[in-house]
Structure 1
Amino acid sequence: MHNEEVLVRIAKGLVYTESEAAFQAPLRRTEQIFEYNLTPPSKPERRRSLLTEILGSVGERTVLLPPFHAGFGSNVHIGDDFFGNVNLTFVDDVEIRIGDGVMIAPSVTLTTTGHPVHPARRADFGRFSEPIVIEDKVWIGSNVVVLPGVRIGYGSVIGAGSVVSRSIPPMTIALGTPCRVVRHITDEDLTTRTAGSEIG
């Protein structure tokens, strides 16, 4: 199968294998990610330089605390005023797009890739990939997993420990496994410190 045909299959969310996708290996930024994770806090300029080498695009005033992990790195696009806490994992076989003003708590996984249920279809690491979009001003709590094809809408909050398997509308609080909307964010939240006991 030609590389162009594989790319079409990937874009359609169809199953493809490790061997078929091997031509994409030069897009992996594993060496730079390794170096970033070992760069001391006293060298913020070096960290920033490495981040611009690793990511597909990165905005201003971006904080990404090491260690972080990515399959590629080059398929991740981050906007301005981003804060990513430790142990953020990007499974970025296809694009992950993160808007402005997004905050992500420790030990979050954003995975664009899943695998077929039947073991015969997982031969040669058979998989499918769908992009993830996180819109502006989203806050994602600790230990959240965001699955392939999910879009999290503007301003939303994802409660700690959630597994987000479906897209979440803007300005809502969502939590649980599977993640579900529990309420809308309103002007009343301007006067409270937290979203309430439901996100703990």
Structure 2
Amino acid sequence: MTEYEKQQAGMVYNAPDADLVKELYACHDRCWEYNQIRPTHHAERNKMIRQILGKADEDTFINQPFHCDFGKHIRVGKRFFANFNFTVLDEAKVTIGDNCFIGPNVSIYTACHSTDPTERNSRQEWAKPVTIGNNCWLGGSVTILPGVTIGDNVTIGAGSVVVKDIPSNCIAAGNPAKVIKRIDAGEME
């Protein structure tokens, strides 16, 4: 298997593999170009972001600056909005549903590293996908860690660190984020 195939299979892979690094830098260059487009040039920005992301539409709106590693592993649904300083380490797939709002300084991480210094220094890593459902709002400075799934109709409070799955129809907050309120169907109408 190639290092990319290992990466996408969730296996340990060699992060400084030449092919991976080439692809990573190509995406970083595209992000740099995106971040240089005048903020008022909406159509040009949208066209460029659709070239970076694996799935986006004409309503996708991401304020600059935006940073990601591969881009093609990120899929966003309809009417997606992200505010300033959205950062996605998309070594694995990141799937975000329809009608999602991302506050400023939000980070989503899929890359995993060993806690053992010797192993970590070998530059071997692995990645776990992140999935966020429909109608979600991630408040400012939220961090989503590898392997997390967030259900539909969820609000994550500002500054939260999400380390475990969050079920649908709730508000979660804290470090680590925990459900603080359930939302019933009547409240969502």
SS in 1 for 2:49: helix
Q: Does structure 1 residue 142 correspond to structure 2 residue 140?
A: yes
Select the residue among 12, 15, 18 that pairs with 1:18: 15
Partner of 2:92: 94
Q: Compute the displacement of 1:7 (Å).
A: 4.3
Query: Scaled by the length of structure 1, what TM-score is found?
Result: 0.86
Q: Compute the displacement of 1:125 (Å).
A: 2.2
Q: Compute the displacement of 1:40 (Å).
A: 0.6
SS in 2 for 1:116: coil
CA distance in 1, matches of 2:16, 2:40: 41
SS in 2 for 1:127: strand
Given residue 177 of structure 1, which amino acid in structure 2 is its aligned partner? N
> Deviation string for 1:136-157 (max 9, x for gaps)?
1011011111000111100011
Task: Give the number of the structure whose alpha-carbon radius of gyration is greater.
Answer: 1
Partner of 2:40: 42
Q: Is the 8 A contact 2:102 2:137 kept in 1?
A: yes
Q: Is the 8 A contact 2:112 2:127 kept in 1?
A: yes
Given residue 19 of structure 1, which amino acid in structure 2 is its aligned partner? P
1:121-136 alignment, distance < 5 Å: 121-136=119-134
Partner of 1:183: 181
Q: Compute the displacement of 1:116 (Å).
A: 0.5
- Structure 2 gaps, min length 5: none
Greater Cα shift, 82-91 or 26-35: 26-35
Q: Compute the displacement of 1:170 (Å).
A: 0.4
Q: Compute the displacement of 1:187 (Å).
A: 5.0
- Structure 1 gaps, min length 5: 192-200
Alignment root-mean-square deviation, CA: 1.8
Partner of 1:53: 51
Quick check: which one's strand share is greater? 2
Q: Is the 8 A contact 1:19 1:124 kept in 2?
A: no
Query: Scaled by the length of structure 2, what TM-score is found?
Result: 0.91
Select the residue among 73, 78, 81 that pairs with 1:80: 78
| Aligned pairs, number | 187
Q: Is the 8 A contact 2:133 2:153 kept in 1?
A: yes
Given residue 19 of structure 2, which amino acid in structure 1 is its aligned partner? F
Q: Is the 8 A contact 2:8 2:91 kept in 1?
A: no
Select the residue among 106, 109, 112 that pairs with 1:108: 106
Q: Compute the displacement of 1:13 (Å).
A: 3.0
Work out the percentage of aligned pairs sharing the same amino acid: 34
CA distance in 2, matches of 1:152, 1:14: 23
SS in 2 for 1:34: helix
